[in-house]
Structure 1
Amino acid sequence: MGSTRLGVAMTRNVYQRSLRDFQDYADDVTRSRHQTFDDAIRRFASTLVDNTPLGDVIAQLPQVDFDQWYSKQLTTVGGMVGSGTITWPVDGRERLAMQVEMVRRMASDRLDVLDFAQNFMCVGSRFDDNIAEFVQQIFRPFVRDFLRIVHDTPSFSDGLHQRTPPQESEVSMSDELTLFISHSVRDTEIAKSIVTLFEKAFKISARRIRCTSVDGYRLPAGADTNEVLRTEVFGAKLFVALLTPNSLSSPYVLFELGARWGARRPLYPLLAGGATPAQLPAPLNGLNALSMNSADQVRQLLEDASEALSQRLEPAPSFSAEVEEVVAVSTANPHKVSPDILAPLPAVSSSAAEKQPLPKNATSFAGDKIDIHDVHTLRSNSLLSHKNVREIE
């Protein structure tokens, strides 16, 4: 009986892993620039190869002649850059099959994304702008539509859910956790508003959200703080980084973000409380950060999260008040960020996240004493070594 249960669990893990890789690597593509796009699209295409769970879904799509179709699209290109018109097949499954082949050709250097953008959607002379336009118009809708087909494919859906209810001890915290909010304890009100927003927009259970300074989302009594938070930082499906003057002044929050970044897992930087993109240290300044001062960008956060989770949002009017509350709390009492904290952020990989004792009298990069709650946050995650902080004489 034990071996049968293990075999079923392993089968499900293959489907879970393929879906997680697809979503993570798709996120890498959406955040890439022209220097990194080729590597990101190759990694993404590796999830679509034959004889894999997603490859089996693709095998059920109609056969298409990409060369003939693309040659026809090129005839629409006029004398001006970006003047071509893309006409995808009307049938949704044929459209997806064509787009899968497009991705595979870009990954194998048989189709150049910049040439494609120049022909059909050029928005200027900057390569990054044209890549972003391709992602917005073509890639993101493809990912959304493909995930719908995946979940509607019986063989994949059955494989994903073919498992008897596991014993509680068999379920890891990272498998259960949907949202992890990294923040400073001084920003509890902003963090709480984001928690409420996600609960209302996605109907997420409180046990699938970790926000250590908000009642109802703290660690359970008796939990091994070190192990649980270490696992959740790397394993949560969504990792939201609440970047404010408070959190940017805390090396503990920054090292937590460095750990997630080093693990190459999706990371969503959110600016609030007066923080601006210019104040972000490397490598966070290479990620597109959304401002919680803008209702439109708060809604974009939810749309991006919906795509990453393959979960539909609730009707917009049902969470409009929560969107406005996030904006109101974010814009209240902004603080300044010390320029001394803008040093590059070290990346911490999962293998480097060893348990280390916390130095006494540690200070932040700005030279201020560290808030005891932030000390607890990093000690809980075990992400800091002696060399990462300065000590007061």
Structure 2
Amino acid sequence: MSDRQVTYDDVVAARELLADVALRTPLVHSHVLSAAIGGPVHLKCENLQRSGSFKVRGAYVRIAGLTEEERARGVVAASAGNHAQGVALGSGLVGTSSTVYMPHGAPLPKVAATNSYGARVVFSGDTVDTALASAVEHAERTGAVFIHPFDHPDVIAGQGTIGLEILEQLPETGTIVVSLGGGGLAAGVALAVKSLRPGVRIIAVQAERAAAYPASLARGEPVTVPPATTMADGIAVGRPGELPFELIHYLVDSVLTVSESEISQALLLCLERAKQVVEPAGVAGVAAILAHPHVFEPPVVAVLSGGNIDPLLLSKILRRGLAAAGRYLTLRVPLSDRPGELAGLLAELAGLGANVLDIAHERIGVHLGEAEVQLQLETKGPAHSDEVLGSLRQDGYRVICD
């Protein structure tokens, strides 16, 4: 962390530096979210940014500010993926080498993209915090310049340029909602926006499984929370940054948390209704709007902070989102082990309009003369799911919901 403080003038300077590097991402109106809160909601699509997330803004500003001697030593960073890509891209643009430490299990598309931008990827530990410690050790050992993902004035200033864009694109903005991990994005946006429009509310959102900020704000200083697994790996940071914490403490109006189920529903909504592919960490703000619609004063802007998601993970999350929305049923039905029983069950489901996505017919491990059918069904919503279950039970089937 640098001892230098970050100012509004730093954000303005960062914007000039990023003029030919970062895209001015679009602001897209969301009809479904607007209906949920009773006022306009817009999505700031940083998932469409170069390298797939907002991270390139802060990473480039930091790297571009290095001296020639520092550039010659190369840079090192740690990330679950988005900061890694931002550092790799930024390093290539200014002509310096980069090494990036990533936790084991980092999404493969993020690893591949980081490699494609020219960085050397090294795996270390199972969390971002472990990778961060390895990157710091590498910097001390080799002399490479450590590019912190959130705890540096240049990084915060770069992320703050998003706030300037939002106010230009929607001057009447009432609330801005951002994802919160280490705090660079929330701190930068809050600094930029509050400097120009103090009345705009800034709400930051963490995954409840990795929420260090509520405890830290209650204590009045950064505290470390035990690492936990969350689908929102991009904001799974165990300890707030010192500099972001100070800015968030004074400038952010509220910090909310969202569950895994709420994140998956938000991701599904972005894909189906907004036609935006967003990673779990990037939809935390949307998840909060869906979970707490009356908290947000419109017009609202939710920052979709990144879109780098493994397709395999996406398919799993979408199924979870469908289940949470009452559109996906997993159930078991014991049947007599006689010809025609399975066909009869499937015919009934077809008549009820339930789409069978997967089926397994199990004889081993059940009572003699019985079989068990395991089904995954797609339905039209909660009411339809209840109708399917009710009709099956009314017709004598013993239905076990998983």
User: Normalization by structure 1: what TM-score?
Assistant: 0.28
Between Structure 1 and Structure 2, which shows a larger proportion of strand residues?
A: 2
- Asked which structure has the greater CA Rg, the reply is 2
